[in-house]
Amino acid sequence: MKQIYLDNNATTTVKPEVLEAMLPYFREQFGNPSSVHWAGRMVSGAIEKAREQVAQLLNCSSAEVVFVSCGSEGDNFAIKGTAEALRHKGNHIITTTVEHPAVLETCEYLEKNGFEVTYLPVDKDGMLDLADLEAAISDQTILISVMWANNETGNLFPINEIGEIARRHKVRFHTDAVQAIGKVPVDVQAAKVDLLVLSGHKIGAPKGVGALYLRRGTRMTRFMHGGHQERNRRAGTHNVPGIVGLGVACELARLNQEKDYAYVRRLRDKLEQGILSTVPDVKLNGHPNPDLRLPNTLNVSFNFIEGESLLLFFDMKGIAASSGSACTSGSLEPSHVMKAMGVDIVLAHSSVRFSFSADNTEEEVDYILAELPPIVQRLREMSPLYQR
């Protein structure tokens, strides 16, 4: 059976070069980098090399990179660590309604603990109004947290402009760049961000590792208390193979992202145009200008059909995609992102996300374009909402 993986925003396969670089660190070079003996010394250099590789991708200094266990930890650390460290200055945080749960639920938790959070709305294309953002800033505002790219729609937020505004108002700026890394250029200096989070498993590194960029001089309360690892910023024995893998994946991203951008963009555009031109009653979710979305992401609603059933039919054809349907996640509400964009409830339930990597091929797109219309047609014929 064909296996066509178009869910690279959920997770990616580990790149062969990444796995190869990691392998020696499980059994041969297994030491704890905090140890002074040969077993420790063997690996402490590897950690610092990986730190340098991450720093180069982000255009920062390696001392500003803190390794964490995943994107979610990075977001928890960035937001809770700022909230506690700056509580004496204010209790107001600004974020958006379309953040990942790692940001949203962290903010909701802080709301229960005396913080006030402004959740900026987005328009029907999923975009922010920067005047809204600037108007929301008060003398109590200690943090702006806006994602670099949205995981569901691929929308790119105007991070450089937000960085400008934050800097002008002397407010700390955090961005969840988990989806942007490796897909579009990310430069923490140009963007004027103070905190940035990335996650390994979205860029061909393994699951279980991520990094937080922490601008020099940014005061934070620790999130993970304990040992003195990571210059006292994050406790816990280093995940050496994971960190080595993350370093290599960042280096590969730096070398290949321009080429990959063009490649996945071509595939995505072909699928996008193919679906929009051959399947009736579909709606593109996200910004209509493809330049304002990640090059690899396409989110469309197939009206009258519930997303999970579409995914299951796709799956029978070997096509792996994901949906904003409530039913796939076990929650009752459909995607909060679709809701924030004001997408009609039926359309929200019927949204499907295709997310490419450089491993996908044009033949796969052709295959999907051939298989998709009859599936959609078949499910629509089952739907009480559909009238031919």
The residue ranges that bind other proteins (CB under 8 A) are 36, 41, 44, 304-309, 312-313, 316, 325-328, 330, 332, 334, 345-346, 349, 381-385
User: Least distance in Å: CB of 351 to ligand FES?
Assistant: 14
Residue 147 contact among ligand FES, ligand PLP, a copy of itself, none, beta carbon within 5 to 8 Å by kind: ligand PLP
Binding mask 161-200 for a copy of itself (x = CB under 8 A): --------------------------------------x-
State which of residues 31, 33, 71, 247 lies at the interface with ligand PLP (CB under 6 A).
71
Contact status: 247 vs a copy of itself (CB under 8 A): no
**In the complex, least distance from residue 325 CB atom to other proteins, rounded to whole angstroms:** 6
| Residue 230 within binding range of ligand FES, rule CB under 6 A | no
> Does residue 44 belong to the site contacting a copy of itself (CB under 8 A)?
no
For residue 249, the surrounding DSSP H or E stretch is helix 240-278
Contact 64, 214 (CB under 8 A): yes
Residue with tokens 């929301």: 136
3-state secondary structure of 92: strand
Using alpha carbons, list the distances in angstroms from residue 116 to 42, 74, 108, 142. Answer: 47, 21, 9, 10
Alpha-carbon distance of 183 to 358, in angstroms, equals 10
d(CA 84, CA 117): 14
Is residue 45 within the footprint of a copy of itself (CB under 8 A)? Answer: no
List, by residue number, the catalytic residues: 327
Provide the residue count of the chain.
388
Q: Are strands 297-302 and 282-284 parallel, antiparallel or unpaired?
A: antiparallel
Question: Contact between 371 and a copy of itself (CB under 8 A)?
Answer: no
Report residue 48: phi and psi, to 5°: -70, -30
- For the window 275-314, what string marks contact with a copy of itself as x by the rule CB under 8 A? ---------------------------------x--xx-x
Q: Which pair of tokens denotes residue 207?
A: 């699951």
The binding track of 295-334 with respect to ligand FES, each residue x by CB under 6 A or -, is: -----------x-------------------xx-------
Q: Which of residues 331-360 bind ligand FES (CB under 6 A)?
A: none
Closer CB to a copy of itself, 228 or 378, in the complex: 228
Cβ of 60: how many Cβ atoms within 10 Å?
20
**Cβ of residue 167: shortest distance to ligand FES, in angstroms?**
40
In angstroms, rounded to a whole number, what is the distance separating the alpha carbons of residues 109 and 104? 9
**Stretch of 73-81, 159-167, 348-356, 362-370 contacting a copy of itself, by CB under 8 A:** 73-81
- How many Cβ atoms sit within 10 Å of the Cβ of residue 29? 20
| Given 21, 43, 47, 70, the residue binding ligand PLP (CB under 6 A) | 70
In eight-state DSSP terms, residue 15 is P
Per-residue burial over 203-230, b = 16 or more CB atoms within 10 Å of its CB, e = otherwise: bbbbeebbbbbbbeebebebbbeeeebb
Give every CB contact of residue 111 below 8 A, 6+ residues apart in sequence: 117
Listed ranges 163-171, 176-184, 265-273, 338-346: which one lies at the site for ligand PLP (CB under 6 A): 176-184
Other beta carbons within 10 Å of 39: 14
Minimal distance, residue 336 CB to ligand FES, in Å: 16
CA atoms within 13 A on the CB side of 158: 14
Least distance between ligand PLP and beta carbon 295 (Å) = 16
Given candidates 151, 153, 297, 299, which one binds ligand PLP under the rule CB under 6 A?
151
Q: What residue ranges bind ligand PLP (CB under 6 A)?
A: 70-72, 75, 100, 102, 147, 151, 176, 178-179, 199, 201, 210, 236-237
